[in-house]
Structure 1
């Protein structure tokens, strides 16, 4: 029995030492475990090592594999700063968060974005709420948001953004949200980890409810908290996309892979707000055929 345990321990550390990919996490430890448990379903990757951001900083650069997967914005910032010349992949991160951070990276990087493309979000929003024109967008001032691009995309749908950058402390956020809600028809939120902490989301959505204003969320968690709708990719789709990137990089580590949104997106609505505002939603079949979007339980079931 003792020999068996020693062999088991030895095989574990040998797998870690020979790992071709290291996964770095901070607040997303559970998400990291899900990725490690699922990644083998979509690739032949074995021996992925999971470590914290603290351990990653402390490890000798030469003891780490070439490919590094960072789970979330905080972990991505760490791997950008430490151990240059690795190949970085960010996951569970917003497009703007990634672009703002990757500019300072010393390593080549790519990402699997959470949320959905801006143009698609605006197109669906205008279809559901055709009479709106002003979209309030509050974002943390550490985020390097391309306001000109956002405004250009909005004009395609006869919309206009009202931008409000803010410090990320609660008092500043609530103050700027109060101001923005008075000058916008709808609040359009993006994935912004520093701005939208869980408690702040609740406070902000309560404010909008009292003002009879709608927020469009970037994830299904926002809808559960009180946003009208969100277009998103579930964990399965994000891990599939990550597996695809890893397969390409293992075949050619010098290949340039553009950041991407997972291809199979879902849409979720808040039924209470739909009834409260008297909205008429498009059918599930229409959403799939015209926007390529599935309900939470998937397109196949919607068309049965």
Structure 2
């Protein structure tokens, strides 16, 4: 009987022998796909003290705190399982698991999971996934090396260059912000000059101001660049923003892949395998040096396009791969020129 079956059957009848035999019959230890499918199932039915029994004695343990979105958690866990293979055992963290050792790194999925783990143990080494820079950078400044992140939001310069690659004639970019979020665009405005581009931020602080302000922004800009600003770009407003822009034959770029499905023309995004690959590099660095590298963005981006919107606006759209390559080339060239 393997270690997993023992951990399931020695809990005073909490898990039935038949259930343990079911797992054994599917070669739980030898078939990663079956093991992964049961990973989050076990999380919901086993007490937290059982998790440590599921890892091999002496093996490296990496804790995972899920977002609560089962599909997302399962997908990222599958990628992490492939990334680490036999290097480490992945152990889920439950809400009622109040004590976590500070020697093992913890990977959190989403801002809520990070916040919960951070409050459970402020000395814990945490690598945050699926968080934005604006949310995380304060933590990184206060506890460098102890906590780090692979940012999920796309750098605004990359989004801006995605827009100008689709519209090569574009030179002016319109930006919408509230008084509280205008700082999101500060770095971008300074960066654009190196690419012979300019941008202007238009401030709107209420729903009543939104559309009139957007109309002024569309008069100035060749397209609208959207940041991850929930005060403006949210399910309540996005339809009105898109309709107003498209009636004036202006496009909207960003802020994420999800918004492309909602009607935005295009957005860059980091594929999950790229995020997890960089997470693997960070965890290995921590295990070797007891410090995480500084938070950073993923190393690869792709482009999502809404072909239907492109056809409606009569905009010829290049291949997604070509757009991503062009943006990469411009960013690399810009870095070299600044050195």
TM normalised by structure 1 equals 0.74
Which of 129, 132, 137 is matched with 2:175 structurally?
137
Q: How does 1:33-52 map to 2 (within 5 A)?
A: 33-43=74-84, 44-51=87-94
2:136 pairs with 1:70: no
DSSP-derived class of the 2:183 partner: coil
In the alignment, which residue of structure 2 is the partner of 1:280? 316
User: Which residue of structure 1 aligns with residue 326 of structure 2?
Assistant: 290
Cα pair 1:135 1:188 within 8 Å, conserved: yes
Kept after mapping to 1: 8 A contact 2:109/2:130:
yes
Q: Distance in 2 between matches of 1:233 and 1:31?
A: 15
- Residues 31-180 of structure 1 mapped to structure 2, 5 A cutoff: 31-43=72-84, 44-51=87-94, 55=95, 59-62=97-100, 66-99=104-137, 102-103=140-141, 108-139=146-177, 145-163=183-201, 172=206, 175-176=209-210, 178-180=212-214
Q: 1:106 to 1:25 in 2, by over 3 A?
A: farther
Q: Deviations over 1:190-212 (max 9, x none)?
A: 23456544454445434433454
> Does 2:246 correspond to 1:209?
yes
Question: CA, structure 1 residues 59+145, in 2 after alignment: closer, same or farther (shift >3 Å)?
Answer: farther
The equivalent of 2:302 in structure 1 is 266
**Unpaired runs of at least 5, structure 1:** 294-304
**Shift of residue 117, structure 1, vs aligned partner:** 3.2
Query: How well do the aligned residues superpose, as a CA RMSD in angstroms?
Result: 3.7
CA change 1:205–1:286 in 2 (3 A) is closer
For structure 2, list consecutive stretches of 5 or more residues without a partner in the other structure. Answer: 11-19, 21-45, 330-339
Tell me what 1:247 maps to: 284
| Contact 1:226–1:270 (8 Å) recurs in 2 | yes
Matches of residues 180-259 of structure 1 in structure 2 within 5 Å? 180-184=214-218, 185=221, 186-192=223-229, 196-254=233-291, 256-259=292-295
Q: Is the 8 A contact 1:135 1:160 kept in 2?
A: yes
TM-score, normalised by the number of residues in structure 2 = 0.68
